[in-house]
Amino acid sequence: MKLVLEIMLVSDDAAFLTRLKRIAGKAHISHCESISELKKHLGSAVFDIIVFAVRPGGKEQDEFKNFLKQLEQEHPQTQVLVLVDRNDIEIGIDSLSMGAFHYCRLPVSDTELSLLIDAAIKDRPHVVKTESEQDKPLLRLGPLLGQSARMQTVFEQIQQAAETDIHVLIMGETGTGKELAARAIHQFSRRRRNPFLPINLGALPRDLVASELFGHQKGAFTGASEQHIGLFERAGEGTVILDEIESIDEKVQVSLLRLIENKKFNRLGGTKTITCHARIIGVTNENLRYLIDQGLFRKDLFYRLDVFTITMPPLRENIEDIPLLIQHFISLYNRTFNKKIKRVDDAALRLLTLYEWPGNVRELKNVIQRAVLVCEADEIQSEHMPSRLRGKTAKSDKTPMSIYFDVGTPLQQVEREMIIQALRVSNNNRTEAARLLGISRRALYNKLHTHGLD
């Protein structure tokens, strides 16, 4: 997949913009003159590199530093280059601790700027692996992290979806990164220069959902004092993320189905037919098939969205990703809180890997944020964990299971005997048995059924 590099220049110097366009070659260059203007762009676009060629002074310096922290948290896939005057070297140095990739002094030569951009490109997250990287897991894709087999599958599906214009359905529990996956699809697609517009439908009053999506004409209903342009119209050829799509009522479901089928819609109270060029990504943490059976979600709408489905795995089924995520969050909050924490001790790591994580990656992020905040040394310990994690028992992770098989034993028989042994060692505690086997409880229940052990 060949991608066009997206660079944003923040500068009030028109001549510098001309230089950057010449130096960056085929890259697409966007431009704004201030941080406040940049924030508006970040709401609907993703950039590989942001070049700051501004001269903040006084209180603006604090605003600039705070914004760099925010940028690192919310857009970790973006590389930041800071160009400063000779008298502002301290700002450049500080920017490195706030998440910037590099800084240099103004004036900067074409050669030096070109080398900086090349270095930032080489260091940014890769989407396509080289031949030498084929056997290595992809640790990051856009804003997503993971090295487990499940996350590698998700990364592959995201890249496949990004190469097409088909609508996508992303499913998964709360906190698994569904919107981040949607953002990655947009970031690596041909639509990446266009708006990225997420909307949480469940957070809106039901009688306002249709207006927010399709817009309305003045006088369309009580309180419609002026025309309102809806999300699909504002999106243009961008991407619309419909979060909690299961929450919309029957009438809106019908309107959405028609839009998907015909790529056309009308504003509420309007007669003009508007063509929709946007891509739709539906997001849900509910079992839509169950809702269909209950008569709460239209089957035909589900099948229109279910052309390409990505299921985000819960963290409890991806415990091998926990150390990587911990390292990332510690680095993130070291900068936020000006800490120098280097590691998590074995006892704390054991608590983090034993916990079920009902809130998934989002909950882990919050736990590490708190731990970094309260930790005064360079090592996070179990005392820095919240009480719900410290309540775990002190059982050994390596409970011995003495079972041996001859070479040639069918794999199904090996699996069945291992499950029986795990249940025996755990006194038939299925949660503990699943932990010993390194699988989720749901996976264990499925295997119990498969082997006739339930």
How does pLDDT run across 61-120, given as a tens digit for each residue? 777 878 887 787 677 668 888 888 777 777 777 777 777 888 888 888 888 888 888 877
DSSP string, 271-317: --EEE---EEEEEESS-HHHHHHTTSS-HHHHHHHTTSEEEPPPGGG
pLDDT at 13: 83
pTM attached to this predicted model:
0.64
- Domain span(s) for CATH 1.10.10.60 in the chain: 411-450
CATH top-level class of 315-390: mainly alpha
Give the C-alpha distances (Å, rounded to integers) separating 92 from 6, 13, 71, 73.
23, 19, 16, 19
* CATH 3.40.50.2300 describes domain 6-123: yes
CA atoms within 13 A on the CB side of 290: 4
Helices 206-214 and 250-262: crossing angle in degrees, nearest 10, is 20
Contacts of 414 (CB under 8 A, 6+ apart): 405
- Mean pLDDT score of the chain: 83
In the chain, the amino acid numbered 402 is S
Distance, CA of 438 to CA of 318 (rounded, Å):
10
Question: Is pLDDT of 199 > 60?
Answer: yes
Give the C-alpha distances (Å, rounded to integers) separating 368 from 142, 331, 348, 349, 385.
21, 10, 11, 11, 8
Q: How confident is the model at residue 4 (pLDDT cuts 50, 70, 90)?
A: low
Within 10 angstroms of residue 397's Cβ, the number of other Cβ atoms is 9
By C-alpha distance, which of 90, 107, 106 is closest to 98? 90
Distance, CA of 17 to CA of 12 (rounded, Å):
9
By C-alpha distance, which of 67, 119, 73 is closest to 94? 67
Into which CATH architecture does domain 146-311 fall? Answer: 3-Layer(aba) Sandwich (3.40)
Q: Is the peptide bond before 107 cis (omega within 30 degrees of 0)?
A: yes
Question: Is pLDDT of 143 > 90?
Answer: no
DSSP letter (8 states) at residue 217: -
Average pLDDT over residues 375-403: 72
Beta pairing partners, 243: 200, 283
Q: Which long-range contacts (CB under 8 A, 24 or more apart) does 94-97 make?
A: 94/65, 95/64, 95/65, 95/68, 97/335, 97/338
pLDDT digits (tens, 9 = 90+) for 272-284: 999 999 999 999 9
Unique residue bearing structure tokens 């266009």:
194
CA gyration radius, the chain: 25
Angle ∠(56,21,34) on CA atoms, nearest 5 = 25
Distance, CA of 449 to CA of 422 (rounded, Å):
16
Q: Which backbone phi and psi does 183 adopt, to 5 degrees?
A: -65, -40
Percent of the chain at pLDDT exceeding 70: 87
Q: What CATH number was assigned to the domain covering residues 411-450?
A: 1.10.10.60
pLDDT at 131: 47
Unique residue bearing structure tokens 């697409």:
28
The residue among 217 and 434 whose pLDDT is bigger is 217
- Domain span(s) for CATH 1.10.8.60 in the chain: 315-390
Q: What is the strand order of the sheet 79-84 is part of?
A: 28-32, 6-10, 49-52, 79-84, 102-105
Q: Of 21-25, 153-157, 209-213, 435-439, which range is least confident?
A: 435-439
- Domain span(s) for CATH 3.40.50.300 in the chain: 146-311
- Domain span(s) for CATH 3.40.50.2300 in the chain: 6-123
